[in-house]
């Protein structure tokens, strides 16, 4: 086998997001749930830790291989304004595997099978800091549909610019 060769960086294909406003999330179980997103982190893709391939025959370097399976990382809403009634809505959908959609600012969407893992109020300071009460929300992708079959995310491009 040969040593790695240099690859030049080409101009990226497509267009980058110009703004994060107005990224939103929606659950098929409650699309008008009573919170208003202010900071959304879409799911990521994690290949996992490397698998060691090092043996007693290695002389200089520890060698490794990539894993085969991938993990879809959680959707995080670190800041969302809320109506206090949201707690009864959350109680109805927490831990229920269903379809969730991230709506990106350019109109593209990422749909996943996931469940609402947590919704926790952020601190309510006692001083007059004029801080809007907010929640932190974690949506955990399951990559399993309602029948238990493996299903990856669906990315839909609606913007052409």
Q: Where are the domains of the chain?
A: 24-48+66-156
Q: Which fold has domain 24-48+66-156?
A: Elongation Factor Tu (Ef-tu); domain 3 (2.40.30)
The model's confidence at residue 160, banded by pLDDT at 50, 70 and 90, is: low
Predicted TM-score (pTM) of the model is 0.87
| Average pLDDT of the residues in 141-147 | 97
- Of 83, 107, 113, 115, nearest to 19 by C-alpha is 107
User: Residues 13-36, buried b or exposed e (16+ Cβ, 10 A)?
Assistant: eeeeeeeeeebebbbeebeebbbe
Amino acid 161: pLDDT: 54
- pLDDT higher than threshold 80 for residue 117: yes
Mean pLDDT of 38-45: 96
Using 50, 70 and 90 to split pLDDT, how confident is the model at 44?
Answer: very high
- In the chain, % of residues over pLDDT 70: 97
């Amino acid at each position: 086998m040969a040593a790695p060769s240099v690859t030049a960086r080409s101009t990226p294909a497509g267009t980058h997001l110009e703004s994060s406003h107005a990224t939103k999330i929606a659950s098929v179980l409650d699309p008008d749930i009573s919170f208003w997103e202010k900071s959304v982190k879409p799911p990521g893709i994690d290949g996992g830790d490397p698998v060691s391939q090092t043996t007693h025959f290695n002389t200089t370097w520890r060698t490794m291989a990539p894993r085969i399976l991938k993990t879809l990382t959680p959707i995080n809403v670190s800041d969302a304004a809320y109506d206090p009634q949201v707690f009864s809505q959350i109680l109805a959908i927490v831990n229920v595997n269903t379809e969730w959609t991230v709506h990106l600012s350019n109109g593209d969407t990422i749909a996943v099978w996931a469940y609402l893992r947590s919704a926790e109020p952020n601190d309510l300071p006692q001083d007059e800091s004029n801080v809007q009460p907010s929640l932190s929300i974690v949506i955990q992708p399951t990559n399993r549909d309602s029948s238990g079959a493996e299903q990856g995310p669906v990315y839909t491009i609606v913007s052409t610019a």
